[in-house]
Amino acid sequence: MRFPTARQFRVSSNFNPRRLNPVTGRVAPHRGVDFAMPQGTPVLSVGDGEVVVAKRSGAAGYYVAVRHGRTYTTRYMHLRKLLVKPGQKVKRGDRLALSGNTGRSTGPHLHYEVWINQQAVNPLTAKLPRTEGLSGSDRTDYLAQVKEVMPQLRFD
């Protein structure tokens, strides 16, 4: 999953290392992408991981950070309601929170960040690992075929 919602929303502010902040009037890095969306929209984990932060924090408002292995971290800010706790394991597609308008915000939106090796990257263009896999009956059928073919393979 590249996007943290069940459907795509309009980008209201792009990733920009030198953005003019609309609230403070200062030039500062905007380390994520803002998606304009109605308050209360479910915010989903983009991958399996562990919640490392779920709290209220000044300008970020209510926010969640999820660590995905050693390399990737995602952050979700300006949330209305948190649905997870630090230390909680999450799977791709799990609900983390409901979007909101908390902290330093000019309107309802989700601020979404992707960090690779502790470096903020553009969530819209970053090279991310493919995590699409088989599930349900597709997975069951695939594993049955593998079990059938494996004895025929030669590992000399």
Residue 4 lies in a domain: no
Q: How far apart are CA 150 and CA 156, in angstroms?
A: 14
For residues 90 and 84, is the Cβ–Cβ distance under 8 A?
yes
pLDDT of residue 155: 63
| Cβ contacts of 8 within 8 Å, gap of 6 or more | 35
Q: How confident is the model at residue 19 (pLDDT cuts 50, 70, 90)?
A: confident
* 59: containing domain: 11-131
pLDDT digits (tens, 9 = 90+) for 83-142: 999 999 999 999 999 999 999 898 999 999 999 999 999 999 998 887 666 667 777 878
Q: How far apart are CA 136 and CA 92, in angstroms?
A: 15
Residue 154 lies in a domain: no
CATH number at residue 81: 2.70.70.10
Total structural domains within the chain: 1
Residue 140 lies in a domain: no
Question: Which two three-digit tokens encode residue 50?
Answer: 């562990």
Residue 100 lies in a domain: yes
pLDDT digits (tens, 9 = 90+) for 33-69: 999 999 999 999 999 999 999 999 999 999 999 999 9
pTM, to two decimals? 0.80
pLDDT of residue 156: 56
Residue 82 lies in a domain: yes
Residue 30 lies in a domain: yes
Of 19 and 35, the one with more pLDDT: 35
Q: How far apart are CA 9 and CA 124, in angstroms?
A: 12
